[in-house]
Amino acid sequence: MVMELTSKIFPIQDGDKILALDLGDQWVGSALSDATQTLAKPYKTVTLADMLSFLTTILQEEPIKIVVVGHPRTMKGTSSEQTAIVERTFEELQKSFTSASWVLWDERLSSKRASQQRSQKTPAKEERIRAHSIAAAYILDSYLTFLKAQQSL
């Protein structure tokens, strides 16, 4: 069983980046922090089938030390079928990509917040696809806020 690592702080230095993933049934949204681990920016949305290739490339090209994966829980904090799927995928990714530390992070309401940012200028399908990377940015922003709060203790 996967445990959520909400209090574990991994060593990170200025210049290192953090990647967040929002795993969906068809799409994977990603967001990338800046080198000071202050800002979360939507990065790319890729198909689930392309996720391994995407991770291989970005982990080689960027100084990523931590990968934060959105952990879907119900509003009551219980597990769902999607929770189990994400936890299995998380374990597989953690074993396959050992150059970074992996963290499961609460993603409740991130998709809802992302869908509220729709623009009238972008076609609906493109917006739905981009919403995954926006959701990943919300997940990453939450994690970055947590890190900053821990550092100030």
C-alpha pair distances (Å), 47 with each of 54, 65, 121, 132: 9, 23, 23, 11
Identify the residue whose tokens are 């931590």.
66
Residue 103 has pLDDT above 70, yes or no: yes
Please tell me the number of Cα atoms within 13 Å of 79 on its side-chain side. 11
Enclosing domain of residue 34: 17-151
Say if strands 27-33 and 17-23 run parallel, antiparallel, or are unpaired: antiparallel
pLDDT at 2: 44
pLDDT at 11: 75
Q: What angle do CA 124, 125, 131 make, to 5 degrees?
A: 85
pLDDT at 4: 47
The whole-chain average pLDDT of the chain stands at 84
**Which CATH number fits the domain that encloses residue 94?**
3.30.420.140
Q: List, in order, residues 6 or more apart from 108 with CB less than 8 Å away.
A: 72, 73, 75
Cβ distance 2 to 91 under 8 Å?
Answer: yes
From CA 19, how far away is CA 139, in angstroms rounded?
10
pLDDT at 6: 45
**Position with higher pLDDT, 95 vs 7:** 95
pLDDT at 74: 66
Count of domains for the chain: 1
3-state secondary structure of 35: coil
Q: Is residue 81 part of a domain?
A: yes
Residue 123 has pLDDT above 70, yes or no: no
3-state secondary structure of 54: helix
Ranges 50-54, 74-78, 111-115, 138-142: which has the least confidence? 111-115
Q: Is residue 90 part of a domain?
A: yes
Q: Is residue 143 part of a domain?
A: yes
Q: Is residue 88 part of a domain?
A: yes
Q: Is residue 11 part of a domain?
A: no
Q: Is residue 8 part of a domain?
A: no
pLDDT above 70 covers a percentage of the chain that reads 81
Cβ distance 23 to 86 under 8 Å?
Answer: yes
pLDDT at 117: 57
From CA 127, how far away is CA 137, in angstroms rounded?
15
Q: Is residue 4 part of a domain?
A: no
pLDDT in tens, 39-95: 999 999 999 999 999 999 999 999 999 999 999 876 677 777 888 999 999 999 999
Q: Is residue 107 part of a domain?
A: yes
Identify the residue whose tokens are 């920016």.
41
